[in-house]
Amino acid sequence: MSKPRLGVAMIGYAFMGRVHAHAWRSVNRFFDLPAEVDLAVLCGRDEAAAKQAAATLGWTETVTDWRDLLTRDDIDVIDICTPGSSHAEIAIAALEAGKHVLCEKPLANTVAEAEAMTAAADAARERGVRSMVGFNYRRVPALAFARQLIEEGRLGTIRHVRAHYLQDWIVDPDFPLVWRLQKEVAGSGALGDIGAHIADLAQFLLDDHITDVSALLETFVKERPLAGESSGLSASADGATTGEVTVDDAALFLARFGGGAVGTFEATRFATGRKNAMGIEINGAKGSLVFDFECMNELWFHDHTLDAAEAGSRRILVTEDTHPYVAAWWPPGHVLGYEHTFTHEIRDFVEAIATGTDPRPSFADGLQVQRVLDAVEASAAEQRWRAVQR
């Protein structure tokens, strides 16, 4: 029997768009899903560039105005891969039009926007319309397996979390003032771009919320060149050749969780030599887990219930078909990569739409992360502990 068609439109085709497109193309080829994905429309403001991207990435047609997607009967899903400044407007309009929505993280640029998006998602859910925010690291098999171990009580009472996300792509002070360095477009810097991932991941693994934070934000390079091929910007009308960086370069914060655990978080784009070094360590009364994304198929587990003579940490290679998501791919030991996390994300989203269930992370989960980011910014500005809004 033929499966029902799920027409997808994606808005944006840069880095995240390319990764999402790969996931939409591959999901039905590796997972047996109750719906068949159709890469129907790619949306971009530059018609020529959008057409070229569509031909490369596998989309059937293009439009230049996302509003054109809202009334089309052949579009069931809208995938938002644009900068954060446009998330709220697009997502709310799409949900109100009855379209399922996948929105890249962070959910929005402000708490108010995230609250409006969550309210729209809640209202749409009553009409059978689903929504999800794209925190892809939840779908790393090793981290999904870590969540299972914690749920099973293998770590006992969780006491301490250490998380970091380290990059170096703007270390050069001559790197241009791209949109990710402008608060009005990006919302925040390292905090929202990569700090959001580890804030969500810690809360996901512990199944607990961050309740209080004490933070420090720093911008090391406060002016950057306007001109540059990668920035798309040129000298301003008054002849200025540099512009102000209005976001953080590094974010560090302490955190308390509702269940009593404490945490330390570090996000920076100034860790020279680090390209995408995300890691987390979780310590409990009965054991510990350590994950390093640079070795993303491995999870280190210390079982503290064993006798000290044999209780050292052991490496688990998370490539068995009994591990989360892995059975759809290669034989054991044939490792997975970054792009697979997005295919897993799309798999879960399509499954939820087809079965009428609520996918996670929800917009409410995205709102919780947004409230953590907001509290971090407020704490850094006020130089004091700050409660996360409930």
What are the pLDDT digits (tens) for 17-67?
A: 999 999 999 999 999 999 999 999 999 999 999 999 999 999 999 999 999
Q: How many CB atoms lie within 10 A of CB 152?
A: 8
**In which residue are the tokens 């770590």 written?**
155
Same domain assignment for residues 189 and 133: no
Yes or no: say if 348 and 49 are a contact pair by the CB < 8 Å rule.
Answer: no
pLDDT band of residue 381 (cuts 50, 70, 90) is: very high
Q: Is the pLDDT of residue 249 over 90?
A: yes
User: Within this chain, do residues 194 and 58 fall inside the same structural domain, yes or no?
Assistant: no
Domain boundary among 88, 119, 137: 137
In eight-state DSSP terms, residue 283 is E
| pLDDT of amino acid 311 | 86
Considering the domain architecture, whether residues 31 and 126 belong to the same structural domain is answered as yes
Dihedral of alpha carbons 104, 106, 107, 109, sign: negative
Structure confidence at residue 246 (pLDDT):
97
Given this model, what pLDDT does residue 54 score?
98
Within 8 A by CB and 6+ apart from 256, the residues are: 210, 211, 212, 213, 262, 263
Closest CA to 97 of 79, 120, 119, 116: 120
Same-domain check for residues 148 and 133: no
Q: How many structural domains is the chain composed of? A: 2
3-state secondary structure of 267: strand
pLDDT at 230 > cutoff 80: no
| One-character DSSP codes across 186-225 | HSSSHIIIIIHHHHHHHHHHHT--EEEEEEEEE-S--EEE
| pLDDT at 229 exceeding the cut of 50 | no
Residue that the structure tokens 């992360």 belong to: 369
Q: Is the CA virtual torsion 300, 301, 304, 308 positive or negative?
A: negative
> Which among 137, 165, 180 is the end of a domain?
137
The whole domain housing 65 covers 5-137
Nearest to 206 by CA among 265, 277, 266, 143: 143
Q: 91 and 158 share a domain?
A: no
Contact call for residues 140 and 146 (beta carbons, < 8 A): no
CA-closest candidate to residue 154, choices 23, 43, 301, 26: 301
217 and 303, same domain (yes or no): yes
Same domain, 62 and 90: yes
pLDDT tens, position by position, 328-364: 999 999 999 999 999 999 999 999 999 999 999 999 9
pLDDT class of 256 with cuts at 50, 70, 90: very high
Q: Which helix (H) or strand (E) holds 150?
A: helix 141-151
Say how far residue 114 (Cα) sits from the centre of its chain. Answer: 15
pTM exceeding 0.85: yes
The C-alpha atoms of residue 199 and residue 105 are separated, in whole angstroms, by 12
The bridge status of strand 250-257 relative to strand 210-218 is antiparallel
Q: Does 202 share its domain with 103?
A: no
Block residue for tokens 């791209």 = 178
Same domain, 235 and 379: yes
Pick the last residue of a domain from 137, 157, 182: 137
CATH, residue 380: 3.30.360.10
Nearest alpha-carbon partner for 297 in 329, 257, 340, 337: 337
| Cα distance between residue 176 and residue 224, in whole Å | 6
302 sits in which H/E element: strand 298-303
Q: Which amino acid is at 31?
A: F
Residues in the chain: 390
Same domain for 195 and 132: no
The H or E element spanning position 163 is: strand 158-166
Model confidence pLDDT, tens digit, residues 282-334: 999 999 999 999 999 999 999 999 999 888 999 999 999 999 999 999 999 99
pLDDT at 108 exceeding the cut of 80: yes
What are 128's two structure tokens?
A: 């059978």
Query: How far, in whole angstroms, is CA 79 from its chain's centroid?
Result: 13
* 148/244 same-domain check: yes
Spatial neighbors of 199 by CB under 8 A, at least 6 apart, are: 210, 265, 369, 372, 373
Look at residues 185, 213, 183 and name the one whose alpha carbon lies nearest to residue 198: 213
Predicted pLDDT at 232: 52
Backbone angles phi, psi at 160, to 5 degrees: -150, 135
Considering the domain architecture, whether residues 248 and 169 belong to the same structural domain is answered as yes
* CB neighbour class for 12 (10 Å; exposed up to 12, middle 13-18, buried from 19): buried
CATH number at residue 97: 3.40.50.720
- List, for residues 121-161, the tens digit of each pLDDT value: 999 999 999 999 999 999 999 999 999 999 999 999 999 99
| DSSP element (H, E) containing 253 | strand 250-257
